[in-house]
Amino acid sequence: MKKIAVFTSGGDAPGMNACIRAVVRTGLHYDLEVLGIRRGYAGMIDGEIIPMDSRSVSNIIQKGGTILQSARSISFKTPEGRRQAFENLSKAGIEGVVAIGGDGTFTGADIFCSEYPEIAFVGVPGTIDNDLYGTDYTIGYDTAINTAMEAIDKVKDTADAHNRLFFVEVMGRDAGFIAMYSGIATGAEAILIPESKTDINKLVDSLHNNFKRKKTSSIVIVAEGDEEGGAIEIAKKVNERFDKYDTRVTVLGHVQRGGSPTCMERVRASRLGMEAVKALLNGQTRIMVGLIHKDIAYTPFQKAIKQNRSIDPTLAHLAEVLSS
């Protein structure tokens, strides 16, 4: 293998730049030519392929977002789009690709490889949701939970000052990892996640008990994918049954995707980027490189996509006990 490429796809995540840097510099270390594909699969189809050298990734390890940018691509879901992407990769002489992204990215890569096996794809898990099977932590997750924690701490300060009930919505359409960890870390009174059914009546009873115990404020963390709705909708349902507190809603939104990656984020992303290049050189394809118990692990794309990680039930018990 003489020439590889790297791209980022799907939602951006802090640490992606650190991973890009590691891929480029590891590739150069092994005398490979390294190219960057801008705007994910969309750029692959449009031929937005650029040469990368050591200087092109200087001073990016501390930056959030992704210097290669990201985009959704409807065209890549079609055989015609994938054919165009293959032609562009082949024209550039690319033999292996490092794909940094989540389940949508790996789904696209797996389909592409089944049609064009002559180009190898190795994935690196990049998503703030931390929901991919085959790794303990995804790139972006550690920074996202710390960003959420810091924001919730600030909300708690103003909640205490005004005797308020705050519903804080964090990201997590299909997974509640951010909600669970940031909720435990900030001492939230309740944590609502997609993985478990929300009982509004039980929540109201809990808030009422807090009020009777002279608690001056409460924080409820809501993952955006909760089946009862987002924080705004749940706040309305609670207010219909309980009006002892002055209620406010805060939606953290995309602030969780931005910001400088944490130290551990940068180290993990760098390690995974290096191991992805080594996997390509070792003849691997259609696999995701992850970290399990601090060791490198290879997981087939199909397994990483279909067997999403679940939240440890002991965490839910911990949150319930400590909030009582």
Say what the alpha-carbon torsion angle 185, 187, 193, 195 is, to the nearest 10 degrees. Answer: 70
129: annotated active-site residue: yes
Residue 174's pLDDT band (boundaries 50, 70, 90)? confident
Return the amino acid letter for 56: S
Q: Which DSSP state fits 126?
A: B
CATH number of 3-140+261-306: 3.40.50.450
Strands 33-37 and 49-52: antiparallel
pLDDT at 214 over 70: no
The mean-pLDDT minimum among 115-124, 200-209, 231-240, 253-262 falls in 200-209
Q: Residue 70 and residue 26: Cα distance in Å, rounded?
A: 22
- SS3 assignment, position 174: coil
- For the chain, percent helix, then strand, then coil, each to nearest 5? 45, 20, 35
User: Residue 149's pLDDT band (boundaries 50, 70, 90)?
Assistant: very high
pLDDT at 201: 84
Ramachandran assignment for 136, one of left (phi > 0), alpha (psi -120 to 50 degrees), beta (any other): alpha
Q: Which of 12, 129, 142, 226 is catalytic?
A: 129
The whole-number pLDDT of residue 321 equals 86
Overall pTM > 0.85? yes
Run of H or E residues at 71: none
**Torsion-angle region of residue 262: left (phi > 0), alpha (psi -120 to 50) or beta?**
beta
Q: How many CA atoms lie within 13 A of 262 on its CB side?
A: 16
Q: Residue 153 in contact with residue 46, Cβ under 8 Å?
A: no
Q: In what order do the strands lie in the sheet with 164-170?
A: 190-192, 218-223, 164-170, 246-251
What does the alpha-carbon distance between residue 18 and residue 267 come to, in Å, rounded to a whole number? 8
Domain map (residue ranges) of the chain: 3-140+261-306, 142-257
> How far is 245 from 275, CA to CA, in rounded Å?
52
Mean pLDDT (whole number) for 225-230: 82
- Between 213 and 222, the more confident residue is 222
User: pLDDT of 269-299, one tens digit each?
Assistant: 999 999 999 999 999 999 999 999 989 999 9
Who contacts 243 (Cβ-Cβ below 8 Å, separation ≥6)? Answer: none
Domain 142-257 has CATH 3.40.50.460: yes
Confidence at residue 217, expressed as pLDDT on a 0 to 100 scale: 67
What is the side-by-side strand order in the sheet with 33-37?
Answer: 49-52, 33-37, 3-8, 96-101, 120-125, 287-292, 295-300
Q: What is the pLDDT of residue 216?
A: 59
Nearest to 18 by CA among 276, 256, 297: 276
Question: What number is the average pLDDT over the span 98-103?
Answer: 96
Region 78-90: mean pLDDT is: 97
Instruction: Return the pLDDT at 238.
Output: 85
- Reply yes or no on whether the pLDDT at 182 is more than 90: yes
The region of weakest confidence among 158-172, 257-271, 277-291 is 158-172
Q: What is the pLDDT of residue 304?
A: 92
Q: Do domains 3-140+261-306 and 142-257 have the same CATH topology?
A: yes
- The residue among 159 and 305 whose pLDDT is bigger is 305
Distance CA 179, CA 141 (A): 11
Contact in structure between 7 and 44 (CB atoms under 8 Å)? yes
Mean pLDDT of the chain: 91
Look at residue 234 in the predicted model and tell me its pLDDT.
Answer: 87
pLDDT at residue 200, rounded to an integer: 86
What pLDDT score does 310 carry?
77
Higher pLDDT, 303 or 199: 303
What is the pLDDT at residue 213?
72
